[in-house]
Structure 1
Amino acid sequence: MKTNDNSTTNSAPYNSNAGIFILGFGGHARSAADVAVAAKWSRIIFIDANADDGEHFSSFPAIRTLPDPLDPNWLFFPAAGDNRRRRSQMENVAGQLATLVSPEAHLGVESILDLGTLVAHGAHVGPGAKIGRGVILNTHSIVEHEAQVGDFAHISVNAVVAGRSKIGSNVFLGAGAVVIDSVSVCSDVVIGAGAVVTSSIDEPGIYVGVPARRVK
């Protein structure tokens, strides 16, 4: 992780006895595991009520229920790709939450990450940016200087949130979409892939195109 001593990650400190329960076993859960492996986590178990007996990803097993008793050194990571489902996972966690940051990501000076957030490979978090709880900053996404991303938002692959913009909670910013600088997007908005948001959005809905316009 290309980071700075003045960035802040709200997560329990790593220790050699720690492991991560990844909540879910879908595609995003596997991407989260890939980041965890790159970040040197070697003890990973997927928890998914629909897992088949003996199912695994790489060498990491998927089981249907949590072990009993629980090892207090193990952390939880919510890994549903759907924003609302990920929020539900976090609200029902019975232990400490992890934050996963790829060693290939960059965290700028005075940037802040809250719990349960994923910063994937090649993502960039600019100086002074604030990232909420349970956020996905997907592969090669960019959140620039002093921008804010609300809880349970998903900034997709190659999407850009330019400087001093504000993204509300439960927002989905599609692959390659751009929010230009100093623009606000309210909560519960979906921005389609490749769209460009050139003015603030203050009504929930689905927006597509260049410039982005509401279609639903």
Structure 2
Amino acid sequence: MNNNFKGILFYGFGGHARSIADVALSNNIKEILFVDVNARSGETFCGYPVVRDLPESLPEGWIVFPASGSGEMRKEQLEDINRRGWITGNIVSPTATIGVGANFGTACFVGHHSHVGPNAKIGDACIINTGAIIEHDCVINDFTHISINTAIAGKTRIGSHCFIGAGSVVIDGIKVTDKVTLGANGCIVKDIDESGVYVGTPARIIKN
């Protein structure tokens, strides 16, 4: 996992972007720029500028990072980054632990005190948020957000564009289809093959 960038352009300036910036700064990244269509004139974050418009070009050694908390928006941001021929990368907290053989796509965020276990596979533009645990041999597909203090037990497969809410648990060996939202503190104890919103322990669907 490479955090050795000269600078980072964050595509977005919501709360999630600020959390990523915190991790970037803890990796001694010295130069940061936020771009957000809702930026106010003269706005800054910890002294770093927030502007409305993407630049025409970037300095050598910079990456662009899709910083939206929304999976759909991160997908659009990543597609735009690729169209422009810009480089992206993964941003990993120095307090996170990465198991042997773990594999990441691009534009992934791994937050403070999180863990990705051995032989786990993480897709593009995934969020492994603060304190989350992804255990051995798990597969987390593209644009999925594993929220704070969530535990995903071994050999579990989570689809793309999923959101697993804060403090939730998914027991070992479970398969979860695409576009599933699990509310905070929920627990998935059997496979989910229908997209929708789930809550509770055991998780039950409330909206499809």
Q: TM-score per shorter chain, which class?
A: over 0.9
Mapping of 1:167-182 within 5 angstroms? 167-182=158-173
Q: Does 1:14 align with 2:36?
A: no
Look up the match of 1:207: 198
Q: Does 1:56 align with 2:44?
A: yes
State how many pairs are aligned.
204
Whole-angstrom distance in 2 between the partners of 1:158 and 1:71: 36
Look up the match of 2:131: 140
Amino acid aligned to 2:114: A
What's the C-alpha RMSD, in Å, of the aligned pairs? 1.1
CA shift for structure 1 position 113: 1.5
CA shift for structure 1 position 70: 2.6
Whole-angstrom distance in 2 between the partners of 1:169 and 1:113: 14
User: TM-score, normalization: structure 2?
Assistant: 0.95
SS of the residue aligned with 2:18?
helix
Task: Give a deviation string over 1:146-191, Cα, whole Å, max 9, x none.
Answer: 0010000000000111100000000000001111000010000001
Task: Give a deviation string over 1:20-73, Cα, whole Å, max 9, x none.
Answer: 000101100000100100111111100111101110110111011123343242
Amino acid aligned to 1:122: H
Look up the match of 1:70: 58
CA shift for structure 1 position 208: 0.6
Q: Does 1:30 align with 2:18?
A: yes
Pick 1 or 2: higher relative contact order, CA cutoff 8 A, min separation 6. 1
SS of the residue aligned with 1:62?
strand
Amino acid aligned to 1:198: V
Whole-angstrom distance in 2 between the partners of 1:168 and 1:33: 27
Whole-angstrom distance in 1 between the partners of 2:57 and 2:68: 24
Q: Does 1:131 align with 2:122?
A: yes
User: TM-score, normalization: structure 1?
Assistant: 0.92
- How much identity, in percent, do the aligned residues show? 45
Gaps of 5+ in 1: 1-8
Whole-angstrom distance in 1 between the partners of 2:64 and 2:57: 15
Whole-angstrom distance in 2 between the partners of 1:56 and 1:126: 36
Mapping of 1:71-90 within 5 angstroms? 71-90=59-78
Look up the match of 1:39: 27
Whole-angstrom distance in 2 between the partners of 1:68 and 1:202: 43
Amino acid aligned to 2:63: L
Amino acid aligned to 1:123: S
